[in-house]
Amino acid sequence: MSKFVVKHVAVLGAGVMGAQIAAHLANAGVPVTLFDLAAAEGDRNGIVKKALAGLKKLEPAPLAGAARIALITPANYDDHLDALRGCDLVIEAIAERMDWKTALYERIAPHVSPNAIIASNTSGLSIDALANALPASLRDRFCGIHFFNPPRYMRLVEIIATSHTQASVLDQLETWLTSTLGKGVVRALDTPNFVANRIGVFSILAAMHHTARLGLGFDEVDALTGPKIGRPKSATYRTADVVGLDTLAHVVGTMEKNLPDDPWHRYFQLPQWLSALIQKGALGQKTGAGVYRKQ
């Protein structure tokens, strides 16, 4: 197997995951170009600046804050697509919508190096369907790369091949993730929500279902599903706020749409009150309001 040398990574999307993945890479000394949509009007790099401001709050090990920030270059899709040409790895981490992701792939494809690996951080959309938005020449270098939140601390990364992915691409990616980022890699099949989210999201839904059935409060459920059972960062409703309620809704929607014969199918939906929060724009930690802090 030829060695996969990653000199520069492009991360597409500076949201909850993209910004943290960029910070994590910079922590490991890997230069990153962090793309995001230009602000609709006014300050074109507003979103990217916000993401970078958030990065400064992360723990600085092993690189100090300023050195890490210097490794991250903000970019937008209008003026900086040429920067993709110099990237060996492109990690897409935009919102969990098939239509938005495929539209972006069509836009970036002419600018990506033919030797780059392109990978999606989707939580569970079909990697095969995403691959189809790429030209045939890039399709065999595309796969899923599913980091968990927060990527700096969560060791697991699922990698997912399509029917087109060259075997060497997964081998190279696994070696790089293990040696450069210290990750524990699991190869998952291209099934809805892969492995960890298929189980994890179901456990969140089960806890939400029983919250209403047993008349419990959020804090009571979190006390029962969090630190006291050895899951300091995984209490149900805190996790929902950290993930983002809209992202959680998309991930649940993937199971609802694509697993019609699952015996638990009728539980694949969020409670009404949580959908109402999303409607109001209270999406969890990223908007400053969610299950815990109401608008």
Tell which positions 59-118 bind ligand NAD, by CB under 6 A. Answer: 93-96, 100, 104
Q: What is the edge-to-edge ordering of all strands in the sheet holding 32-36?
A: 72-76, 32-36, 9-12, 89-92, 117-120, 142-147, 156-160, 184-188
Residues 142/146/152/153 CA torsion (nearest 10 deg): -150
Tell whether residue 290 is a contact of ligand NAD (CB under 6 A): no
Smallest distance, ligand NAD to C-beta of residue 125, A:
7
Tell whether residue 226 is a contact of ligand NAD (CB under 6 A): no
- Cα separation of 140 and 138, whole Å? 6
Smallest distance, ligand NAD to C-beta of residue 1, A:
27
Tell whether residue 149 is a contact of ligand NAD (CB under 6 A): yes
DSSP string across 78-143: TT-GGGGGG-SEEEE---S-HHHHHHHHHHHGGGS-TT-EEEE--SSS-HHHHHTTS-HHHHTTEE
Tell which positions 27-66 bind ligand NAD, by CB under 6 A. Answer: 36-37, 47
Phi-psi region of 244 (alpha: psi -120 to 50; beta: other; left: phi over 0): left
Smallest distance, ligand NAD to C-beta of residue 54, A:
11
**The binder of ligand NAD chosen from 55, 241, 286, 291 (CB under 6 A):** 286
Residue 9: which of 34, 28, 27 has the closest Cα? 34
- Cα separation of 126 and 165, whole Å? 14
**The binder of ligand NAD chosen from 16, 145, 252, 274 (CB under 6 A):** 16
Smallest distance, ligand NAD to C-beta of residue 33, A:
14
**The binder of ligand NAD chosen from 247, 249, 256, 274 (CB under 6 A):** 247
Say whether 169 sits in a helix, a strand or coil.
helix
Smallest distance, ligand NAD to C-beta of residue 157, A:
10
**The binder of ligand NAD chosen from 8, 9, 10, 13 (CB under 6 A):** 13
In the complex, the residues that contact ligand NAD under the rule CB under 6 A are 13-18, 36-37, 47, 93-96, 100, 104, 121-123, 147-149, 243-244, 247, 286
